[in-house]
Amino acid sequence: MSTTLEQPLAAPAQAVREQMNIVIVGHVDHGKSTLVGRLLADTGSIDPNKIAQVRAICDSQGKRFEYAFLLDALEAEQAQGITIDAARCFFQSALRDYIIIDAPGHIEFLKNMISGA
């Protein structure tokens, strides 16, 4: 009777996903946060409940919904409609993982932009 020792099958190696880091910079009110907010919404990277919540807040305040509002975490950002601190966002495609940093455009917050990038 012959016995053979079988080697256990090695677990398949997980494919290493490429990561891309993107920093969005530019002059104030040129659509940086709007671009990132729209990108996150269109890729399904933001919970639809969050989008509905932001829309409801806009309605209650008589404001028009803007995709930039999806990124505004600080109350001052929401109240003033500006980015004060850099926001870090994540999303995935079939090939890559993305990290996007949405930097403030106001000169007063240049320090925040540099530290965020």
Q: pTM above the 0.75 mark?
A: no
Residues of the chain above pLDDT 90, percent: 21
Could you read off the pLDDT of 51-81 as tens digits, one per residue? Answer: 999 899 889 889 889 898 887 654 555 565 5
> What pLDDT is attached to residue 48?
93
Residues of the chain above pLDDT 70, percent: 64
> What pLDDT is attached to residue 19?
94
Full domain range(s) for residue 96: 18-116
Q: Is residue 22, in this structure, part of any structural domain at all? A: yes
Domain count, the chain: 1
Question: What is the distance of C-alpha 91 from the center of its chain?
Answer: 6
Q: What is the CATH number of the domain that holds 99?
A: 3.40.50.300
Average pLDDT over the chain, rounded to an integer:
77
Q: Is residue 112, in this structure, part of any structural domain at all? A: yes
- The beta-strand segments (E) located in 36-109 are 87-92, 96-102
CA angle 26, 89, 21 (to 5 degrees): 70
- Stretch 75-100: mean pLDDT, rounded? 75
Q: Is residue 1, in this structure, part of any structural domain at all? A: no
Q: Report residue 44's pLDDT band, with 50, 70 and 90 as the boundaries.
A: very high
